[in-house]
Structure 1
Amino acid sequence: MGYRDWKWWALWWNHLFLLWRTIDAQTRYSIPEEMEQGAVVGNLAKDLGLGLSVIYDRKLRVASEAGKQYFSVEAGKGELVVNDRIDRETLCGQSTSCVLPLQVVMENPLQLYRIEVEIRDVNDNSPSFLKSDHVIEIAESTVVGVRFPLESAEDPDVGSNGIKTYTLSKDDCFTLKVKEIENGRKIPELLLNKSLDREKKATHNLILTAMDGGSSVRSGTSKITVHVLDNNDNRPLFENSIYKVSVQENSANGSFVVTTKATDIDAGPNGEIEYSLGVHTPPAVLSLFHIDAVTGDVFLKKQLDHETQSSYRIDISAKDKGSPKMEGHCTVQVDVDDINDNAPEIVLTSKPSPVREDAPRGTVVALISARDLDSGDNGRVTLQLPKRSPFTLKPSFSDNYELVTSGSLDRESFSQYNIEITAIDSGSPPLSSRKTIPVSITDVNDNPPIFTQPSYNVYLKENGVPGSILYSVSAADVDFGENAKISYSILDSRVQDVSVSSYVYINSDNGSIYSMHSFDYEKLKVLQIQVQAKDQGSPSLSSNATVHVFILDQNDNAPAVIYPSSAALGSLSHQRMPRSAKAGHLVTKVTAVDADSGHNAWISYKLAEATDASLFAVNMYTGEVRTKRAVSEQDDSSQRLLIEIKDDGEPVQSATATVSILLEDGLHEPILDLRHKMPEPSKKTGRITLYLILSLASVSVLSLLTFLILAVKCVRNSRSSGSCCMGRTDCDDYKNPNRNLQIQLNTDGPIKYVEVLGGDMLSQSQSFRSCMSPMSPMSEYSDFTMIKPSSTTDFNEVISVLDASLPDSTWTFESQQVSTKRSTPSPIQSHHAYRRRPECIFHEKWNKDLLILHFLFWRWIKLFV
C-alpha cells in the first residue's frame, strides 16, 4: 500500500470516529459520506441513557425527515448504524453544511428524541469541465495584458475538497490568472502577456487543469485552442460586470427580467453587438431564461420555483461582428423571491394508539410534525384542533407535537374519534391543509347490565307441567366484547323456608326461567324471584330485577264438609226435631268450605234427595235446613236428607252430606233437659267446680288484658300508618301490613259458632271459624271446630294448649283460603269467608298468640251462653 492510500485510509478512520454533543436535549453525530452499510455511527442507547432491554421492549426505531431511511438501530447493541449509501452531494448539493435530522421514536408509552447526523464531505468527485474543448479567437492586435475568461470547472464536493486551483500548460504568449469572485468561486482567465504574431504562430493549443484541495488530489482538464485573428482589436464592454435582480417565483412565462447593455468602440460591423447566453450556461438555466440578441433583454421561458432553487447566475456574452469577432462578458444574478404557494403539510411521526376510555388527561395518543416548503413567514405553521375536542396538541420541539387527551372519554358515546387537524401558515394570504387522524377508544367495564324493566309480573296457572317456561327476562349492557356478555342467575332466597332454587331455575345464557315442579295455589300464591344479570368484565358489574310469579287458582278442590264432622260420622248427621215444629224451624246447618279461591270457592247447597221433599228445604247460600211447613202426624218419624254441595268453578266440583232426622213428640231443649237430669253435685264435685270457676276467672282477666294491649298497639299503628281497621273497599288499595281482626258470635237456632276473619295484601286471606254443634243431652260440652290457614305454622303448640284447657272437646283443623279480589261477593261467597261482611282484614300472617286469643275469647263467651 502506497503512502497516498495509507493517508486516505487514515483520514477515513479519523472521520469514522464519532463526535456527538447534546444541545437542548438533542444528540449530534458527525460521520463522513459514503460509509459502508452496517457501519456504526454511535451508541444511541448509551448517549440517550437507555438500557438495551428498554430499547427492545419499547421498540425503538429511527424516522428520517429526509424521506429515505439511511439509518437504523441495532436492537442487540443499541447502536445507530448506516442502513444505505449516503451521498452528500445528492442530499445537500453545494451547501456547506449537511445535517440530517432524525427522530428516534419509542412506544409504550410514546416518546420522541431528536438527533442530528452531520454528513462530512469526502473527496469522492473530480473537477470536470462542461466542454472538453474550448476555442478562443484573439486578434493579433490584442494588446498585452488582456484577459480572456475561461470555463470554470465544477466539483460537487465542498470546502477543501472543492476546486482549489487551476494550472495551464506552458506557453510563451499566455499565462493563467485565477480570479476569485463572490462565495469563493474561482474563475480562470487567460492572460496575454506577449503580443501575438499570426504569421509566426496562428494557433496556440493549451491544456487547462483544475485541481481540488482534497488530501488525495483529484483533477480535470479542458483543451483550449486559441486562434489568432487579424483586425478587430476592440471587444464589447458591459456597463456592469454583475447585474442583480429579484423575480417572484409566480412570474408568468415571458416575463421581463433585466436589460444588459454593452458597447464597442469599433466602427461598422466590428462595433455591432449580438447578445447571447454564455457558452458554459448549464442546460437547467437555458431552459428557464433567454436573451434578446439585439436588445440584451433577459426574459423568462417558464415559471420559477423558489423551493427548487432560490438563486441563479447567468453568464451573458456580447460579441461584435468584426473579423475576428470580439466579445465581452457579464453576469446576471437572479434571486427568486418566495411567495406563499405551498400549503403546510401534516406528518404522522407515529400511528395513533388505541386509548382506554378511562385514560387520564395527558395520555399521549400520537406524535405529529408539521412542515412547509416555503420560507420565512410563509413557512411558519400553526396547528389547530376542533373546539370541544377531548384532545389537544402539546408542542414538543421544532414543529413537533404530541397529541394528548384533554378530557374524559366515553366509548359508549364515541367509540372512535376522527380528529381533524388543521395546519395554517403565516403567509398572505395564508394557506392551510387538513389531516384526519382516527383514534379508537377501547372499552372499560363501566356500565352494569340493565334490565328492560325493574320488575316483572308473571301470571301462572296452578298445576302446570314441570319444566315449562315461566318467563324470559332480558338485560342489555352498553359495553363491548366480554364486558357486554351477560349471564343470568337467581339470587338465593327463602320461600316458605325452602330455597327458591327448589321452585325454579334459569337459563344463564338467555334469561329464560323454568319451573322445577307444578305449583299449588292453595299452598303458594305468590313467588318472588330475584334475578341477577352479571357481565363478564373485570371487575364484573351486575344489576337485579324482581320477578313476581302470581299463581292463578284452578278448580282442583272439591268442597269439604266441616259440619257435620266427616272425621267423626262420615258426613252423616243425626238430628232430633219435635213434631210441634212450625214452618221455618231450623233443623240443622250444613257447613262446607272450598280450598280454592274466587268463583272456584263459591259454594251452593241443594237438596238432592229427601224422604219427604215437601217437608224440608235447604238454603242455597247458607246450608241451613229448615222446615217448609209444620210437621203433621202423618209424617214419618224418620227422615233422611241427602244434600249436594257444589262450587262455582269450571269444571264443577261437588260433595254430599247426609242428615238423618228423628221426629219425636214432647222433645224439649237439650240444655234444659240436661240440667234436670244432672245429679246433685257432691262435695268433691263442688270443689272441682270452684277451681274451675277460679281458672275461668283468671283466663277472663288475661283475655281482657290482651284485648287492652292489642287496642293500644292498634292506636299507635293508626297514628303512624293510618287506621288499624278499615272497610272492605278500603282494604283493596291498602298497602301497609297492619293487622286487622274481626271476631263475631253467631247464635242461629241450635247452631252456635264464632267467626274470626282476616287477610293480607298478597291475596292470601285467612279466616278462623269456631263452630259449635247443637248440644245433645249426652254431652256436657259442644263439639268445637276451628279452621286455620295453610300458611300458619307451629300449630302443635296451639293444639296442646287448647287440648289442655278443653280436654273433652273435639277439635278439627282444616284449611280455608278466601280470595280478596275486588269483585263483589255473591251470596254464596258471603256464606263462609264473608258471611258477616268483615269490617277488618289481616295484612300479615296470623301468629299463635292471636289463635290463643281466639280460644280464650271463645271460652269467655261460653261462660255466658
Structure 2
Amino acid sequence: MLKATLDCQRRSRLFLLLLLQMSWDVVLSQLHYIISEESKHGTFVGRIAQDLGLDIGEINSRILRVVSTDEKEYFQVNLQNGILFVKETIDREQLCPGIQLCIIPLQVIVDKPVQMYHIDVEIEDVNDNKPAFPSTMSTLVISELMPAGSRFHVQGAADPDLGTNSITNYELSASDHFALDFQKYMNQIRSLELVLKKSLDREKQAVHNLTLTAYDGGKPRLSGTSEIVITVEDLNDNAPTFIQPFYQTSVIENAPKGTLVIKVNATDLDQGKNGKILYAFSKAAIEDVSNMFSLDKHTGEIKVIGEVDYEQAKMYEIQIDAVDNGEVQLIGHCKVLVTVVDINDNPPEMTVTSLALPVPEDSPQGTTIAIIKVRDQDSSVNGKVNCHITNSSPFKILRAFKGDFSLIVDGQLDRETRAQYEVVVVARDEGSPPLSVQKTLKIDISDVNDNAPVFQQPVDTIFIKENNPPGSLVYTATASDPDVGQNSFITYSISDSTIDGIPISSYISINPENGKVFALASFDHEQVTYFQCHIIATDSGLPPLSSNLALNIFIEDINDNSPTFTTIFPTLTVKTPKSIQPGDLVTKVRAADIDSGYNALISYNLKDITGKILFIISHNSGEISLRRPITDSDYEEYTLVVVAKDHGEPAMSTTTEVVISFVDSDQEILYDNQNAKGIIDDFSEANIYLVVAICIISSLFLITLIVFTVLRWQKCRDEVKELKENYNICSNTGGSWVYSQQTQYRVCSNSSQPKNDLIVFTPNSSQTASNEEQLNQFAALRNSFYHPKHPNPDWRYSASLKAAMQGAVHMEGAAVLRGAAVGLEPQWPTVSSATTDPEGGEVSPPVGAGVNCNSWTFKYGPGNQKQPVPVPQIPPDFPENFIIPGSPAIISIRQDQPSAQAQKSNFITFGKKEETKKKKKKKKGKNQEKANNNTNDNNDQ
C-alpha cells in the first residue's frame, strides 16, 4: 500500500512538471489568444495590429504576415484592419491528441524595418465527442463462489475530449449484487471495476444484465452506454492478483531492443491448473504499446522491441492481464506507466527567414539583416539552443524570442574594403554532449555614394603657347571614384568664373564624359598671361558628390609681334650743328616689342650703309652718334635706315628712316621739338598710377582740413552765442568809450537795482588831439602817483580756487580795466594766505563750489583798520577841462550774498554819457558832488 502511494506521488509530480513547462511556453509569448475548436472560417481571433502597437496604415506597406510552425495555416490576417481570423477549421483532437494545453505558435513578421513578434493561440476544447465503449456489449463470467467484495474489471469508455469535456463519471444500472467502483488518477478515471456486493446464487439468477453508462463533464453533457452480460458459474473462483495494481517506471529513449523495462508479478490462490497464470496485454491496450514493448507471458517481463523516441511519445500506459488456467479463466489486472527519459539525440534545426540582401554599406549598427529560427526537439537543457558566429565579421546575433535570433549589423561596413562576407552561424544546444548545426550565409554589401571623385592631385599646371588653333586639346582631367555602378559614373564641368570680365566658358570647355579640356579661342600672351580654372568632377549618386581640381594655365609667349618704333612720324628729321664732334650724340631712336622675354629684346642696326660710314648706332640703346669728323665732301643731309630686330625664333624686325641735316651753329635748331615728336617718353603705367594716387590723397587731405575748419568755426560761433545769452549787457545811449569816446561805462550786476562799482568819466567828444596827448600824460602821471601796496608779498595760489575765479570773472571786464584810458589797473591778488606783515592786509576769497568769486573780504592791517587810498597830486598845469570827480577813481570791492542769484557772474558794461561844451560848466558841480557821494558810499562798504 505504501509503495502504491509513493507511485501516485511520483506521477503527480511528473504531471505538474509537464503543466509547468506548457505554462512557461505561454508566458514567453508576446500575445496570447484563446479560441474554441471547430471555429468556422472568418472567426475573429484578435486585433493583432492594435495589440502589437502597429500602425494599421503601415501593415500593408510593411507586408505583415503570419508564419506558423506547422505546415498547415489555420489563421490569416486582414491587412486592411489588422484583425487575425480563422482561415481553416481546427479539430483539437486531431491537432493535439492527448495534450492538455493545445497551443498553436505563430510568428508575426513585418518588414521595413524587419520586426518579429511571437503569438500563441490556445485552442479551447469543446464537448464535440461523446464517450464511446469499445463494444456495445461485453460478457463476464463470475463464479458463484466469488465472495462479496470481489472486483471485476470492466472495460471503460474513451472520449477524445480533455478536461471537463472528457469522461468524469460512470453509472451502473440498479443491481442488488453489483456496484460500480472506479479510481481517478490525475483527474482521470484510470480503472473501472464491478464490485460484488453479495454472493451470487446461480440457482436464483444465472445471468445478470447490467447497463454501464459513461458521462462527460461538458455542456451539454454527453454519454455513452454498453451492455454487460454477467454469467454466473460455479467454477474457478479465485482470479490472479498482482502484487501492486499500478507500476511506474522509465526508459531512456533510443534504448536498444531487448532492454528490460519492468517485470510484473501476479499470484492466484487456486491450485493446479486454476493457479497457473499467463500474462498478456489487455485488449484495451493501444496498438502502439504492442509495437513498442513485448510481454513475456510466463515471466511477466516487459522489454523494448521498437524505437523509443521521446519526441514522439513521452509516456506509455500499458494494461496487463493475468489469466489463470482454470476451466473458467479468471483474470487479474494491473497498469504499468512507462515514462520516456529524453536524451540529447536531436541536433538543432536552423532556418533563415527574412534575409534582406544585399546590405547597404551605410547601414547603422543594429540593422536587422535576417531572422534565424532554431528548433530542437529535445527537452529541458537538451532543447535549449544558443546561436553564435564563428568567424570575425561586422555582424552579431541577438536572441529575439524563444528559439528566434536576429542577425544584425555590429560594425562599420565599407563596400570598397570588402564587398561580401561569409558568415558562419552555429546553433549549439546545451545537452551532454552538445549537438550543433551550422550554416554559412553569404552577405553581399551594396554600394552607396559615400566616396567623392578624387583627382590624382588637387592642383595642376599647364602651359599653352599663344596663337593656338581654336578647339585644340590642352589637358585631360582624370578622376577616380571607388564606388560602383551609378555612384562611380563621373561627369566633368568647369566652375563659372571670369577673366577680365569675360566668362571663362568663352576660353575653354571640357568634355563632361572623358574630362578633355579644349581651348575655344586662340590665346594672346599680350592680353592674357595666366588664368586659373576649377574643374569639378561629380558622380551620379544620390546625393551627388564632387571634388575640385585647380588648373593653372599659363600662356607662353611666341615671337608674333615685330618691334615698333615709338616715333610719331614715319621719318625722323634731326638737325645737328656742323660743329659736332666724333662720338657726340646726334639722336636716339627707340623701339618697343610687346612680346616678352627674349622675344622682346631688341637690337638696333643701320641698313644699306655704303662708303665711309659717318654715323654709328648703339646696338642696345639705339643712340646714333657721329663716328668721324665732318669733311667738306660730306653731304648736308643723310638718310639713315635704322633696323630694330628682336631675338625671337624666328627673329622679326622693322625699319624707320632718320634724316640728319647739318646746319650752321647760329641757325635755330629745333632739336627739342623734333625730339618731342621723335622720341616719346611717356609716363609709364606705374607713374600714372602714382600721380593719380597722390592727387587723391591730396584731395582727401584738403577736404578733411576744410571740414575741420568749418566745424571749429561753428563751435566758436556757438560758444560766443552762448556767452552772449549768459551775460546781461546793460548799456545806455552813450555808446562806447574805447574808440568813439562817446560812451559812459557802468558796472551792472544781475540784481534788480544796479549798483555802480566803477564809474569812469571821459572827456567830451569835441576834445582835440592835444587834449588826447594830455590825457595820456595824465594817465602816466596817475600811474606814477598811485602804487597800490600788495596785502602780502607771499602769494600762494590754489589750483581749484584759481579755476573757480577764472570761471566767474569775465575776461572782457579785465581787459577793459587794463585797456581803458583812465581806468585803474590795481594788480590785486587772487588768493592770499595769512600775512606776517603787520601793516599788510589780508584778502580772503570765498572758498567752495558755487560761491560768487566776486565776493571778497579785504582786511586792512592789524585790527582791520582801513587804509586810505593815496590821492594823486595833480600838477598845476593839468588841463582844466579834464575833471575827474571824486579823484581818484575808486574801485569798490563789494561782498554780495551767496545766493543763487549772486552765483551768476557779474557783468561789467560801460556806458558813456555825451556832454557838450555848453553844458559842461553847468553840470560840473553836480558831477563832482555825485562823485563825492559815491566815494563816501564806497568807503562805508
TM-score by length of 1: 0.62
RMSD: 5.2
Counterpart CA distance in 2 for 1:55 and 1:475 is 45
Q: Is 1:779 aligned to residue 782 of structure 2?
A: no
Deviation of 1:103 (Å) = 4.8
Deviation of 1:487 (Å) = 4.7
Deviation of 1:35 (Å) = 0.8
Please state whether the residue corresponding to 1:285 is helix, strand or coil. Answer: helix
Q: Is 1:521 aligned to residue 520 of structure 2?
A: no
Relative distance call for 1:501 and 1:371 in structure 2 (3 A) is same
In structure 1, the partner of 2:40 is 36
In structure 2, the partner of 1:426 is 430
2:75 to 71, 80, 88: 71
Whichever residue aligns with residue 610 of structure 2, its letter is: T
1:562 to 552, 565, 587: 565
**Could you list the per-position Cα deviations for residues 273-301 of structure 1 after superposition, in whole angstroms to 9, with x for gaps in the alignment?**
54443333322222322234444332222
Q: Is 1:315 aligned to residue 315 of structure 2?
A: no
Please state whether the residue corresponding to 1:527 is helix, strand or coil. Answer: strand
Relative distance call for 1:660 and 1:782 in structure 2 (3 A) is closer
Relative distance call for 1:577 and 1:210 in structure 2 (3 A) is farther
Does the CA-based 8 Å contact 1:251-1:303 persist in structure 2? yes
Aligned positions, number: 668
Whichever residue aligns with residue 688 of structure 2, its letter is: K
1:418-817 equivalences in 2 (<5 Å): 422-434=426-438, 447-477=451-481, 486-534=490-538, 541-557=545-561, 559-562=562-565, 565=567, 567-569=568-570, 592-598=591-597, 600-601=599-600, 609-612=608-611, 647=646, 649-657=648-656, 673=665, 777-780=669-672, 783=675, 810-811=679-680
Relative distance call for 1:268 and 1:645 in structure 2 (3 A) is farther
1:202-241 equivalences in 2 (<5 Å): 210-216=214-220, 218=222, 234-241=238-245
Does the CA-based 8 Å contact 2:146-2:199 persist in structure 1? no
**Could you list the per-position Cα deviations for residues 743-776 of structure 1 after superposition, in whole angstroms to 9, with x for gaps in the alignment?**
xxxxxxxxxxxxxxxxxxxxxxxxxxxxxxxxxx
Does the CA-based 8 Å contact 1:230-1:323 persist in structure 2? no
2:688 to 834, 838, 848: 848
Relative distance call for 1:635 and 1:25 in structure 2 (3 A) is same
Deviation of 1:82 (Å) = 1.2
In structure 2, the partner of 1:285 is 289
1:177-196 equivalences in 2 (<5 Å): 177-189=181-193
Please state whether the residue corresponding to 1:551 is helix, strand or coil. Answer: strand
Aligned-pair identity (%): 40
Deviation of 1:87 (Å) = 1.4
Counterpart CA distance in 2 for 1:809 and 1:617 is 18
Deviation of 1:517 (Å) = 1.2
Does the CA-based 8 Å contact 2:144-2:199 persist in structure 1? no
Please state whether the residue corresponding to 2:262 is helix, strand or coil. Answer: strand
Counterpart CA distance in 1 for 2:475 and 2:222 is 97
In structure 2, the partner of 1:155 is 159
Q: Is 1:82 aligned to residue 82 of structure 2?
A: no
Counterpart CA distance in 2 for 1:323 and 1:484 is 100
Counterpart CA distance in 1 for 2:619 and 2:687 is 34
Deviation of 1:34 (Å) = 0.4
Deviation of 1:639 (Å) = 7.0
Q: Is 1:245 aligned to residue 249 of structure 2?
A: yes
Deviation of 1:526 (Å) = 1.8
Deviation of 1:38 (Å) = 0.6
Deviation of 1:338 (Å) = 1.7
Whichever residue aligns with residue 611 of structure 2, its letter is: D
* Structure 2 unpaired stretches of 5+: 1-25, 694-941
2:333 to 312, 329, 332: 329
Counterpart CA distance in 1 for 2:327 and 2:631 is 182
Relative distance call for 1:165 and 1:60 in structure 2 (3 A) is same
Whichever residue aligns with residue 161 of structure 1, its letter is: N
Counterpart CA distance in 2 for 1:58 and 1:410 is 27
Counterpart CA distance in 1 for 2:524 and 2:674 is 35
Does the CA-based 8 Å contact 2:557-2:596 persist in structure 1? yes
**Could you list the per-position Cα deviations for residues 154-205 of structure 1 after superposition, in whole angstroms to 9, with x for gaps in the alignment?**
321112322344567899997765444455134334567765979997x999
Please state whether the residue corresponding to 1:286 is helix, strand or coil. Answer: helix
Counterpart CA distance in 1 for 2:468 and 2:137 is 116
Counterpart CA distance in 1 for 2:612 and 2:333 is 157
Does the CA-based 8 Å contact 2:391-2:424 persist in structure 1? no
Q: Is 1:342 aligned to residue 234 of structure 2?
A: no
Relative distance call for 1:556 and 1:49 in structure 2 (3 A) is closer
Relative distance call for 1:185 and 1:418 in structure 2 (3 A) is farther
Please state whether the residue corresponding to 1:90 is helix, strand or coil. Answer: helix
Does the CA-based 8 Å contact 1:167-1:210 persist in structure 2? yes
Deviation of 1:520 (Å) = 1.3
Does the CA-based 8 Å contact 2:589-2:679 persist in structure 1? no
Relative distance call for 1:187 and 1:593 in structure 2 (3 A) is same
TM-score by length of 2: 0.58
Counterpart CA distance in 2 for 1:199 and 1:125 is 41
**Could you list the per-position Cα deviations for residues 26-48 of structure 1 after superposition, in whole angstroms to 9, with x for gaps in the alignment?**
55443221011012234556666
Does the CA-based 8 Å contact 2:563-2:602 persist in structure 1? no
Deviation of 1:88 (Å) = 1.2
Which is higher, the Rg of structure 1 or of structure 2?
A: 2
Counterpart CA distance in 2 for 1:54 and 1:553 is 71
Does the CA-based 8 Å contact 2:569-2:678 persist in structure 1? no
Whichever residue aligns with residue 570 of structure 2, its letter is: L
Relative distance call for 1:220 and 1:618 in structure 2 (3 A) is farther
2:103 to 93, 99, 117: 99
Relative distance call for 1:101 and 1:518 in structure 2 (3 A) is same
Counterpart CA distance in 1 for 2:350 and 2:161 is 34
Counterpart CA distance in 1 for 2:68 and 2:62 is 19
Does the CA-based 8 Å contact 1:232-1:323 persist in structure 2? yes
Counterpart CA distance in 1 for 2:199 and 2:235 is 17
Relative distance call for 1:495 and 1:52 in structure 2 (3 A) is closer
Counterpart CA distance in 2 for 1:635 and 1:646 is 29
Q: Whose strand fraction is larger, Structure 1's or Structure 2's?
A: 1
Please state whether the residue corresponding to 1:299 is helix, strand or coil. Answer: strand
Relative distance call for 1:531 and 1:846 in structure 2 (3 A) is farther
Does the CA-based 8 Å contact 1:198-1:228 persist in structure 2? no
Counterpart CA distance in 1 for 2:467 and 2:439 is 70
**Could you list the per-position Cα deviations for residues 798-845 of structure 1 after superposition, in whole angstroms to 9, with x for gaps in the alignment?**
xxxxxxxxxx77527799xxxxxxxxxxxxxxxxxxxxxxxxxxxxx9
Higher alpha-carbon deviation: 425-434 or 479-488 = 479-488
Does the CA-based 8 Å contact 1:588-1:625 persist in structure 2? yes
Counterpart CA distance in 1 for 2:119 and 2:628 is 127
Counterpart CA distance in 2 for 1:345 and 1:846 is 92
Does the CA-based 8 Å contact 2:238-2:268 persist in structure 1? yes
Whichever residue aligns with residue 260 of structure 1, its letter is: V
Does the CA-based 8 Å contact 2:103-2:121 persist in structure 1? yes
